[in-house]
Amino acid sequence: MHSVTTLPPITLDNLPLETPARILAVDWSALVAEEAQRLRALGLDVGARISVSHRGVWAGRDPLAITIGRMTVALRRVHAKAMTVEAI
Amino acid sequence: MTVVEAIRPAETTRLQRAALVGNPNAGKSALFNALTGARQKIANYPGVTVERKAGRLPLPTGETIELTDLPGSYGLDATSPDEEVTRRVILGELSGEAAPDVLIVVLDASNLEQHLVFAQEVIALGRPCVVALNMIDLAERDGLTLDPAALAQALGVPVIPTVAVRRRGLTELAEAIAEAHARVGAGSVHPRAHLDMAERRMEAHAIAGAAIISESAKHRLHSRLDQVLLHPWLGPIILFALLFVVFQAVFSWAKPFQDGLQGVVDLIIGFVKGEMPAGLLRDFITDGALSGVGAVVVFLPQIIILFFFILSLEASGYMARAAFLMDRLMAGVGLSGRSFIPLLSSFACAVPGIMATRSITDPKDRLTTILIAPLMTCSARLPVYGVIIAAVIPNTPMGPGGIIGLQGLVLFALYVAGIVGAMVVALLLRGTITKGKASGFIMEMPKYQMPRGRDLALGLFQRAWIFLRRAGTIIFQVAVILWLLLNFPRAEPGKDQVDASFAGHIANGLAVVVKPIGFNRDIALALIPSMAAREVAVSSLATTYAVSSSDEEKTDEALSAQLKKNWPLPTALAFLAWFVFAPQCMSTIAVTRRETNGWKWPSFMLAYLFGLAYLFAGITYWSALAFGL
């Protein structure tokens, strides 16, 4: 039952840097409709394999640079908070 | 009629136009430049303010067709005006714009899985299609080996590997375009089943997986660069240092070229003076037209250097990193990193900057960016700053080893003043008239690339041409009109010509208004025509001092020396402060009217910027007096 490698699901803004993860769920209702559509168009949807490559430099460590496939996408913590991920 | 046309079946319509479609960062523009060369026409789509780039593409059949470069898009469900244009052109719904006969879907070879999502959507329309598997060399550099044949099989359309920068695959692509059109009648285009977004993504994953023969886990160049350039504290230091180098370069590297140009202008003026008999006509040509236009044209080297940096940063992919680094700071005043690129472009010129705000999806966010864009120090202010700084600020070496000149430092301070002003205004606007929900920041960061010399040269040539055309038309006209206003009616012998002229009378009225902030009559005189464009202030001052000087020796004196003699330091400083804020540019007002669909916002912009200009010129003047400067 217990596995050392399995971590409990967390939101994307809490995912440590360079940790491969999979998006488990997205609370689309927490996002502005156009932004939700743009995130989906960029492939940030349930099932996507991602990792956090960089965090912003100023107070709040905002925004985040997400690696998805061979692409890097910048987004804000407010978007990352709506995404539940599990480390893989 | 050519032979090729003659042997075509009668029912086939002639191939006339093709369009490049694809995701942003697929290398469409580079491919477009490679296919069409310098034969490009840049205009706007009818009724909207999205740039339409079109060029002539010669086909192997001997025909020449029109090729358009559609705005980058992630899908046919538009989320921005740019994407809306792409959708409507592809579907043939944009009035006044015929639907392209052949669509060329451009894919980034190293980002297939992502780019295939939109590609499938376009191919599914069942229109004649060709896929350009672009930047295949970069994919190979990243350790990817691809199978174009497998990709063509899976997509049901021809796939041509291309490397725009090395002109690889261009002939094959042109052939495929002609063939795709020829096949229409034969019914060989298979419309694919309509899938939803999630299904397309799964399909894209499968197709990409099948097309990739091998993939090595080679550490990619751009992630290593990001480690440094997006580093929590190195990143901002590098960005700031880079911006500082740009502004120092604009001021010092341009100097020898500027002196050279000034020499040429002086040579021409000297030649005209030697060849023509003295009189009003000769004065009109030398003092009116030549010194007016010449005073502005000498700033061409600075403008080219500035655009060289802006275009290079954009082409290299660094601009998106700068947006990432600046996002938090921009969020502090209610904007996003997306506003950073339009605002940075506004350092070159507010007009392309304001037009670049179309990529900002949030309307309130966009309006705020438009309203503060004129506060970014544009290249047209450089001639004004340049002359005044050269006149009143000594170039004392500063800093360790004296590597920084005081003149460069003052210029830098003026840029900073504009930025700080813009930030404060943005904060005030977001809290009041452009109040709305906090804007987001979602942006793809393109791969790093070496800027291509050819594309850079083309971009620089277009910018330089726009600047020279302005100097040749609007600035020439204004210089001529001003000369006429300054020289008529003629003064009685022994009286001052400027005082007697029409312009002198108008300026006397305006001078009363600007006297409290330290402006003299000559400045009031320069402010009137420089409503057309800021740099006209320089040519106006040049014309004014050329007219008022009585003897030959004085006329030949540089404008800076004249200003040094005639302007007290507080006045010169107040004049600099005025130009940080004053909205003296007809083009900016016009483009704001067009982008905001009415006179409401440009009027607001004029009012608040003149208010700020008056206030800050005043504060500068009064403080300078108080400090005894």
Nearest to B331 among A57, A62, A75 (CB): A62
The chain-wide mean pLDDT, for chain B, equals: 82
Q: What is the ipTM of this complex?
A: 0.91
3-state secondary structure of B24: coil
- Domain residue ranges in chain B: 3-218, 463-626
Binary contact (A73, B444; C-beta < 8 A): yes
| Closest listed residue to residue B172, CA positions, set B28, B2, B35 | B35
pLDDT score recorded for residue B528: 78
Higher confidence at residue B460 or residue B295?
Answer: B460
pLDDT in tens, B228-262: 999 888 998 999 898 888 877 876 787 788 889 88
Kindly indicate the confidence band of residue B503, based on its pLDDT and cuts at 50, 70 and 90. confident
Chain B CB contacts of A35 below 8 Å: 361, 440, 442
Q: Which pLDDT value is given to residue B218?
A: 55
Q: Do B445 and A53 touch (CB under 8 A)?
A: no
Amino acid residing at B454: R
Would the pTM of this model clear 0.80, i.e. be above it? no
Q: In this structure, which amino acid lies at residue B437?
A: K
pLDDT of B253: 82
Per the CB < 8 Å rule, is A73 touching B445?
yes
Instruction: Return the pLDDT at B420.
Output: 92
State residue B560's pLDDT score.
Answer: 79
Helical H segments across B212-360, by residue range = 221-229, 234-252, 255-275, 280-283, 291-297, 300-316, 318-332, 340-345, 350-355
In this predicted structure, what is the pLDDT of residue B623? 93
CA–CA gap between residue B83 and residue B85 (Å, rounded): 5
Asked if A63 and B441 come within 8 Å (Cβ–Cβ), the reply is: yes
B84-121: per-residue pLDDT in tens?
889 999 988 887 788 899 999 999 998 888 899 999 99
Note whether A63 and B337 are within 8 A (CB).
yes
For chain A, the C-alpha Rg in angstroms (whole number) is 13
Q: Please give the interface size between A and B, counted as residue pairs whose CB atoms are below 8 Å apart.
A: 111
* B540's tokens: 């106006």
pLDDT reading at B538 higher than 90: no
Mean pLDDT of B216-232: 78
Alpha carbons B549 and B77: distance in angstroms, whole number? 65
Residues 224-283 of B with CB under 8 A from A: 226, 230, 232-233, 235-236
Give strand pairing partners of B54.
B41, B68
User: Do A76 and B331 lie within an 8 Å CB cutoff?
Assistant: yes
| pLDDT tens by residue, B513-535 | 999 999 988 888 888 778 777 87
Contact B42, B53 (CB under 8 A): yes
Residues of B in contact with A13 (CB under 8 A): none
Is the confidence at residue A72, as pLDDT, over 70?
A: yes
pLDDT for B310: 80
The top-level CATH class assigned to B3-218 is alpha beta
pLDDT of residue B217: 62
Name the residue facing B75 among A41, A67, A70 (closest C-beta): A41
- Residues 6 or more apart in contact with residue A70 via CB below 8 angstroms: B110, B111, B113, B114, B142
Report residue A77: phi and psi, to 5°.
-55, -35
Q: Which of these, B350, B381, B372, lies nearest to B422 by C-alpha position? A: B372
Return the pLDDT at B9.
Answer: 43
Query: pLDDT digits over B252-301, tens only?
Result: 787 788 889 889 988 998 898 888 888 888 888 887 788 777 777 777 88
Span B199-227, average pLDDT: 79
Mutation target vs B (from A35, A57, A77, A81; most B CBs, 10 A cutoff):
A57
How do residues A5-63 score in pLDDT, each as one tens digit? Answer: 566 889 999 999 999 999 999 998 888 887 888 888 888 988 889 999 998 876 667 89
Q: List, for residues B558-567, the tens digit of each pLDDT value.
A: 777 888 888 8
Give the pLDDT confidence score for residue B282 in this predicted structure.
87
Angle, to 10 degrees, between the axis of helix B363-372 and the axis of helix B600-626? 40
Q: Render B71-117 in DSSP notation, one character per residue.
A: PP-S-SS-SSHHHHHHHHHHTT-STTSPPPSEEEEEEEGGGHHHHHH
Q: How far apart are CA B621 and CA B567, in angstroms?
A: 12
Question: What is the tens place of the pLDDT at every residue in B47-78?
Answer: 666 778 899 998 888 888 999 999 989 888 87
Of B77, B110, B236, the CB nearest to A37: B77
Q: What is the mean pLDDT of residues B116-132?
A: 91
Q: Are B324 and A74 a contacting pair at CB < 8 A?
A: yes
Per-residue model confidence (pLDDT) at position B428: 93
Residues on chain B touching A69 (C-beta within 8 angstroms)? 111, 113-114
Contact B154, B210 (CB under 8 A): yes
Nearest CA-CA partner of B127 in B203, B180, B59: B180
Spatial neighbors of A64 by CB under 8 A, at least 6 apart, are A12, A13, A52, A54, A55, A56, A74, A75, A76, A77, A80
| All structural domains of chain A with their residue ranges | 10-87
The nearest alpha carbon in chain B to A56 belongs to B325
What is the per-residue pLDDT across B359-396, written as a single tens digit (0 to 9) for each? 677 778 889 999 999 999 887 788 888 888 888 888 77
Averaged pLDDT for residues B200-223: 78
Distance separating the N- and C-terminal Cα atoms of chain A: 17
- B323 Cβ under 8 Å from any chain A Cβ: yes
H-only helix segments in B317-445: 318-332, 340-345, 350-355, 363-372, 381-392, 406-431
B20-40 residue pLDDT tens? 999 988 889 889 988 988 777
Does residue B293 contact residue B471 with C-beta atoms inside 8 Å? yes
B438–A contact, CB cutoff 8 A: yes
| DSSP H stretches of helix in B432-519 | 453-470, 476-487, 497-500, 502-514
Nearby residues of B270 by Cβ (< 8 Å), 6 or more positions away:
none
A10-87 domain in CATH 2.30.30.90? yes
Shortest Cα distance from A58 to chain B (angstroms)?
6
pLDDT, tens digit, 9 for 90 and up, residues B541-557: 887 777 665 544 444 45
pLDDT greater than 60 at residue B5: no
Alpha carbon of B440: minimum distance to chain A alpha carbons (Å): 7
Sign for the pseudo-dihedral over CA of B138, B140, B146, B148: positive
Q: Which residue of A55, A69, A74 is in closest CB contact with B337? A: A74
Q: Which helix (H) or strand (E) holds B119?
A: helix B112-123
Minimal C-alpha gap between A8 and chain B (Å): 26
